[in-house]
Structure 1
Amino acid sequence: GVRGVVPGYYRGRMSYVIRSVRAHEWPAAKELRLAALRDPVAHLAFLETYEEAAARPDSFWQERTAGAAEGADARQQIIAEGPDGRWVATLTVLVEEPGTTDWAGFPVERKQGHVVGVFVRPEERGSGLTEVLFDAALEWSWGRGLERV
């Protein structure tokens, strides 16, 4: 997984921990995803609606979070966690293997990562957290031998 502290990162007021999610944190992962789907702008970037996601059982969220948690190889969800423990930003890296097709149906020619599910809460936008999350995603990806992200 990814774990790092970005000291004094947000306009000198706060420090965020940038890290991979843990399987038992599925309620927080669910809450952040639902917040993204309710967002008047960000929801356009997701392939499901708020209503679809909100109707899913807890078992779905548990499996989804475990599959992208610290130690998982096929995907990794990385978050920015505020000093108060609140998750304020996220992205997920999907690993795509050669000889398969990607989420859009295109052939995958080499081991690569695809960044999806990027969301920053409105009050944190413009803070630079997206860049820090992408750096963490690249670090995780290169550490797994991905050739391209």
Structure 2
Amino acid sequence: MTAKIGFLLILAVISTVSALRCFEGTVALDSNDQTSKKECGGMSNYCIQRIDKKTKEMRRECSSWSDEHSMEEKCPMTGCHFQTKDSTFCCCQFDECNEWKGDGTEFKAGETSSKSKAVPSAPKLGDVIMPTAATQK
């Protein structure tokens, strides 16, 4: 019983350490504002951005279960892919990569602006320095 609990705990720590971090939120098509960052769940393997010309909005998020099911068709490679005349689907597989312009092109360095109300992402477990007996003396 104890071995099972230990194994599950190790799996939980590994999935937390290796979680993908994506931008999340909705902005106007012409906006250069960054959205907040989010640690994705263990099932998310992609950061995505949906560009909707009808609503004139871009939605950035972690991939969901339904996205993961059809990702190879929607996203054969990193970048933005035309779906219909009014919608474009963008995807990528590394931290904080889902930030494209409304036309699907990449922002250049310095083109985005941070919102003052954006919430900073939590540090990853590997970035946290834990005190040891030597540091507490």
Query: TM-score w.r.t. structure 1 length?
Result: 0.21
The higher-RCO structure (CA 8 Å, 6+ apart) is: 2
Query: TM-score w.r.t. structure 2 length?
Result: 0.22
Max Rg structure? 2
The answer to which structure has the higher helix fraction is 1
